[in-house]
Amino acid sequence: MKSRVMQKNAKTIVFLLFTMFSCFAVSCTKDNGGNGSYKGHDYVDLGLPSGTMWATCNVGADTPSEYGEYFAWGETAPKASYNWSTYVYSNGDYNQLTKYCSESDFGFEGFTDKLKTLEPGDDAATANWGEGWRTPTYSEWVELLTRCDYTWTTQNGVSGFLFIARNGNSIFLPAAGNRSDADLSHVGSGGYYWSSSLGKSLPDMAKGFSFSWNGGDWVDHDIYDYSREFGLSVRPVHPSK
């Protein structure tokens, strides 16, 4: 019996040392509330059933109230103009897709591939923040909306949407607007954030969460299909505790 206890204790020590080393190797830290940092980027534990950790900032931002960069769906770098002629996975138009196309009528020369979720190489969160970070799925946005309270608010003079979890933690999404062609619209009045999920209606669309304020007491917020060539914000998730 004593030998078994010693073996169990030894295994426990080895596991703890391995966990500590793993965190050190990927530069992760965590506080008592479950919040922490992974590869130099902070996340918040919202107590969600999936265990998903939400980043505190958008890709391209250094603080929660900064807007960050804008990305077409499936692209990993910002650009000067957002339209089908500059979109990486189109041959110039919405019905000339070259990747993530489930219907031949929308594919270049009838192309289809049945891909419905961003691959890591096409994910702006993974490409810019490293493996372990990614763009939220449609289901993860639904979980955030159904498991948190939310309100329109202002942080550091920047308007946006505050998600408040049942454990008391929160994340702030600035109303960064969106880009179409070379134009930046709805800054300060609306936020538009990609999911990693292709739209369910047409393959030239992808799922995105948005919110907009009408200037009164009402804030429209939901998950919609957005044209893939638009430039929207990306708020990464770290999918494990």
pLDDT digits (tens, 9 = 90+) for 80-89: 999 999 999 9
Q: Which segments of the chain have a pLDDT < 50? A: 1-26, 32
Residue 35 corresponds to which tokens in the numbers above? 């919040």
Q: Looking at the chain, which runs of residues are DSSP E strands?
A: 28-30, 36-38, 41-45, 53-55, 148-155, 158-165, 170-174, 178-180, 183-185, 190-198, 205-213, 219-227, 237-238
Residue 130 corresponds to which tokens in the numbers above? 């490293």
Residue 60: per-residue pLDDT: 98
pTM of the model as a whole:
0.87
Residues 6+ apart with CB under 8 A from 12: none
Amino acid at 80: A
Residue 2: per-residue pLDDT: 38
The domain ranges of the chain are 1-30, 33-83+117-238
- Write out the H or E segment, with its range, that includes residue 136: none
Residue 129: per-residue pLDDT: 98
Residue 215: per-residue pLDDT: 77
Assess contact for 135 and 118: CB atoms under 8 A. Answer: yes
Residue 28: per-residue pLDDT: 56
